[in-house]
Amino acid sequence: MSIKLITNSTPFLRESVRTGCFDTQLGSTRCYPGGGRLKAIKRRRKTVATIGKLTKTMSVVAASKMGPAQAKAAQVSPFFTSMIKTFDKLTHEPKNNDKIMTLVITTDKGLCGGTNNGLTRTLLKQDLSNQSIVVWGDKGCGAFERSVYRLSIPFSAHPNQKTPLSFIEVSTVVERLLKEEFDVLRVAFNKMSASTPGIAYIYLPSLRKLNSPEGKDILAKYEIEANAEDELLVSLTEYLLSAGVNYACFHNQAVEMFARRNSMDNATKNSKEVGKKLQIKFNRERQAMITTELGEITSGAAAVDAMSK
Residues 135, 138, 141, 146: what is their CA dihedral angle, to the nearest 10 degrees?
Answer: -170
pLDDT per residue as tens, the chain (309 positions): 444 444 444 444 444 444 444 455 444 445 556 678 888 899 999 999 999 999 999 999 999 999 999 999 999 999 999 888 888 777 777 877 889 999 999 998 888 878 899 999 999 999 888 899 999 998 889 889 888 998 999 999 988 888 889 999 999 999 999 999 998 999 999 998 877 889 999 999 988 888 888 877 877 777 777 666 677 888 888 999 999 999 999 999 999 999 999 999 999 999 999 999 999 999 998 888 888 888 888 888 888 888 877
Question: Of 76, 123, 111, which is closest to residue 256 (Cα–Cα)?
Answer: 111
Longest dimension (CA), the chain: 126
Rounded alpha-carbon distances, angstroms, from residue 214 to 91, 94, 196: 12, 13, 36
- Residues in the chain, overall count: 309
Instruction: Give the pLDDT confidence score for residue 5 in this predicted structure.
Output: 43
Is pTM, for the whole model, over 0.85?
no
Cβ(223)–Cβ(70) below 8 Å: no
Instruction: Give the span between the Cα atoms of 112 and 262, in whole angstroms.
Output: 8
Directed axis angle between helix 229-308 and helix 167-177, to 10°?
110
